Amino acid sequence: MAITSANQLELLQTAEAVAREKMIDPDLVIQAMEESLARAAKSRYGSDLDIRVKIDRKTGRATFARIRTVVGDDEVENHHAQLTVKQAKTYLKDPQIGDEVIDEVPPVDLGRIAAQSAKQVILQKVREAERDRQFEEFKDRKGTIINGVVKREEYGNLIVDIGRGEGILRRNEKIGRESYRPNDRIRCYIKDVRREARGPQVFLSRTDPQFMAELFKMEVPEIYDNIIEIKAVARDPGSRAKIAVISYDNSIDPVGACVGMRGSRVQAVVNELQGEKIDIIPWNQDQATFLVNALQPAEVSKVVFDEEANKIEVVVPDEQLSLAIGRRGQNVRLASQLTGLDIDIMTEAEESARRQAEFAERTKLFIDTLDIDEMMAQLLVAEGFTNLEEVAYVDLEELLSIDGFDEGTAGELQARARDYIEEQNRKAIETARALGVDDSLFNFEGLTPQMIEALARDGIKTLEDFATCADWELAGGWTTENGQRKKDEGVLEKFDVSLEEAQNLVMTARVMLGWVDPTELQSGDVEAEGDDEEEAEA
């Protein structure tokens, strides 16, 4: 194919047609043509030459030019594409480094192989431009709902036509056992848009909790207008879901607005989700109240919240236990996802038995260690004393406030508690030294002798060993294996060391060893080791 006046205009028409078909800029197609013609010309004149082609955007005339760049005397690497300043004086009046000498060369006739190569270059460039256009179009639509048409199924995954591109709905992102045939209409949530080697990939989902949130936004005008906000969503796709809502207008009931007249609004969402049952729950800033709402339809007798462990205990009447847990633990699992809390459910009878067991255990502790009778030990437990340290170091007035305790009795109790603690500390120090604990760990503030002994038994015998620990290794944490939460016991967990306290101890040890700059620690530049717990949860 020769570039002649007869087919110059055809170049522009071809570029326009390809651009219109692929919905990309015509200029990108012409640039691809220029590059392909330049490559063909190089194969004709020599690959060492720098040949560029310029196609006139109005006439379609292709101009072939040989470019030689002016470089320094010691920088010439390719004599066919570079000139020294001295050599360039033949062509330019006052050549400077970086100037270009341009010589027009005759157009080339494209043979069969060159024409095929040019076609491949154009197709590649057009494909890249199409991918860029698709990525730019869909990257801002991440997190929204899109309507599409099923094109085909590949190994259980659906390829969906979403207008100016294709999306993939993976097998695990479909609800239950729903099936689709080619040309079926489908509504999906755009979960992610990523650039990949084979082009931009639009990942769709129908199981993502936010899919349900977006459906409610479409059905409930108050949510779209930000009068009602969806605070949390939890789903067991195809079976049951819980959604927490709050209204910023006192005259509008958030639950009623989401349900709609005779349930019309929520029913539209249920139908789209293949009959998934939806509990709409009023959100509350108080976590305990919110949890009680989240466990509906079960009734809750009492809630005990442990802030340090981010754990909550819920007590329900005996007959409500199965309802609170739900089929296969579904109700409590969804409530846990909704509130972000680890929930333990027990009946009133179980809670009463546990309290009695704790009472008896603490009573026995005081009897054995303080050498007192059962009645006096029970009085201490009833007043809220849980361990010897509280008895030994509490203000004397608190002991004197207990019925039947005079100053002599209270003083004797504190003396016995302190003697027992000191004896235990002495034994712990002896054991730790026998296990080979370094003085650097003994001199570290924040660790009691019993803690040091526990660390030594776990192989942590120097300050360096301690500084390499993660906070969850010390305070305990949770990991998820095969969908099941598993408890990781911490070395210092029995001493009621919280994650925050463990993190502070470890970071202090690292500062003392010079591993961490304290100024960076204050400014927050050092990444907290507490993230390890999040990794364990992942």
Q: What CATH class is the domain 352-431?
A: mainly alpha
> What confidence tens digit (pLDDT) does each residue in 383-437 have?
888 888 888 888 888 888 887 788 888 888 888 988 988 998 899 999 999 999 9
What is the domain partition of the chain in residue ranges? 5-132, 140-205, 352-431, 436-513
pLDDT confidence bin for 538, thresholds 50/70/90: very low
Locate 87 and state its tokens.
Answer: 């050599």
Which of 452, 476, 479, 477 is CA-nearest to residue 465?
A: 452
Confirm whether pTM is higher than 0.85: no
Task: Name the strand (E) or helix (H) holding 272.
Answer: helix 264-272
**CATH top-level class of 140-205:** mainly beta
Q: What does the pLDDT read at residue 227?
A: 92
436-513 fold: DNA polymerase; domain 1 (1.10.150)
Spatial distance between the Cα atoms of 280 and 266, rounded to a whole number of angstroms: 9
pLDDT mean across residues, the chain: 81
Distance, CA of 250 to CA of 12 (rounded, Å): 63
Question: Any residues with CB less than 8 A from the CB of 323 and at least 6 apart, and which?
Answer: 297, 298, 331
- What does the alpha-carbon distance between residue 9 and residue 5 come to, in Å, rounded to a whole number? 8
What CATH number is given for 5-132 in this structure? 3.30.1480.10
Give the pLDDT confidence score for residue 430 in this predicted structure.
92
Same fold for the domain at 140-205 and the one at 352-431? no
Contact yes or no for 281/331 (Cβ under 8 A): no
Nearest to 25 by CA among 15, 13, 35, 11: 15
β-strands 240-247, 185-196 pairing: unpaired
State residue 307's pLDDT score: 64
Spatial contact of 526 and 467, defined as CB atoms under 8 Å apart: no
Tens digit of each residue's pLDDT (9 = 90 or more) over 195-250: 776 666 888 999 899 999 999 999 999 998 889 999 999 998 888 899 999 999 88
Q: Is the pLDDT of residue 305 over 60?
A: yes
Which tokens in the block code for residue 295? 């466990």
**Which pLDDT score, from 0 to 100, does residue 37 have?**
76
Check residue 287 and give its pLDDT: 82
pLDDT digits (tens, 9 = 90+) for 38-82: 777 777 777 777 788 887 777 767 778 888 888 877 777 777 778
Cα 351 from Cα 355, distance rounded (Å): 6
Give the rounded percent of residues in the chain with a pLDDT score beyond 90.
15
